[in-house]
Structure 1
Amino acid sequence: MSERATVGSILRERREAKGLTRDQAAEAARIKPVFLQAMEEDDYRFLPDELYVVRFLHEYAAFLGLDATAIRSQFVRQTSHAQAAGTAGLGVKEPVRISLRRLLPVALVLLAAVPVIVIGYSLYTQGGKPAPTPPRPVVAPRAPAAPTEGAAPAPAAPREIQASSAAPREMPAIPAPGPEGHLLRVQATDVTWLTVTIDGREVRDVLLQPGDTVQWRARERYLITVGNAGGIHLILNGQALPPIGRPGQVLRNVPIPPASEAVSR
């Protein structure tokens, strides 16, 4: 494998050598064409998790019949060189450089202002001191009025304490599975990558765009790893589930349905 060839060019050349179009390879590997295009162009910036990229490159290289370990090593070397050279790589930002020529006018203004500040402070300290503030008169507390003879003090009215009428919030119940198990539907509201493990065996990796919808069946449960937890809506057995996280939050191995519900059934 040539050291000068990038991971993307190697993947593209092998795909073309096998006579596959980009759409055909994406369908066979069960990935989005836009994701495959990004890999072949060595553009990994939109993926928040580098471990996900390494794992996916390993699986896709094996699909093309390439040495998956060599592809993974080439990717690590490639990204390391990109970061050392200060290029974009995996979204590495270049350091901000401050020009001394731009700072020079600011420094001159500050130096010119120092004598003015010193003179003003001297004039202020040499002036007369302000007159002391006269003490505030002390007001003697008023004596309580003597109770009128023969008059009984009026009893204080009892305070009424109103109970809160707000009922405790009830968490939505997890819908029972149908005769064929669970049906999980995922609706994307933002760009995100998603890995779903079905019944601990089958693994699906997808890259979702806003408006995309995917669904899978399982006999027992799912484990979800997502790069943008706030960018998806989950619907289990026809019932919408509460949000699992915030926008941009990366979550790993989230059980659906929750483990406590799975054990109780």
Structure 2
Amino acid sequence: MSIGNSPEDDRPPIEDDGPSIGRALQQARIAAGLTVDEVSSITRVRIPIVHAIEQDDFSRCGGDVYARGHIRTFAQAVHLDPTPLVARYDAAHGGRPAPTPAAPLFEAERIRPEPRRPNWTAAMVAAIVVVVGFVGFTMFSGGDKGKGGTSVAEGPAQQKLPSASALPPKPPAPKPTPSDSAIAAVPADKVTVKVTAINDKSWISAKDHNGKMLFDGLLQKGDAQTFQDGQQVDLILGNAGAIELYVNGKKIDSKFEDGQVERLSYTKGDPQAG
């Protein structure tokens, strides 16, 4: 008696046309110059799970939904398109579950309002009020015509004031000359860094001189964050080309490229990249 293959052995193997999901994410992370700790800080995915994903072990993600989410955020942090990676995960794990059809909604019967009839009583009352008012106005104006004109007591002639157009124009107020202190309105005893996402979104990480995390997250286009410390502010810009920097009130003119990861440090005084 021969033993046949199980149904699972009859399934066609998944074609391997490139590196695995974990290997692709690991290569992209290395190319972006990020460590596992930095990816964990950017994505808020725990370090052991990041290591497991790079080894194609998704059992620690807590289910397919969380695994897809971790793959997507991981790929975005290392500037990789998450769509083919998520599709490859779905192909290897049975695909996405079919959505549950919504229950049919019953439309309530609409009650057609009855046509409103004209209110003749209100119209008649309004007409009577108009007629009475017209008669009263006519009688009052006719009585005033028989009276003489009202005399006005003469007094000293009022002095005619010159019109506004005849007055000489006021000289324009002098414009203040901007100074460095007015432009850099920041405390001189601290380092102040303002980060603004002007072209696109970007992952930002900021720490003080003791290594304490001041901010760690994603700035959408148009968002801004300001950091301040008594000695030093350390920055990591995930997409430096989208960022505009002001340090101690002065704009940093460095030209960063899109997708470039920059590590910067700023102290008190004139801005200098660390």
Task: State the TM-score, normalizing by the size of structure 1.
Answer: 0.37
| Larger Cα-atom Rg | 2
Task: State the TM-score, normalizing by the size of structure 2.
Answer: 0.36
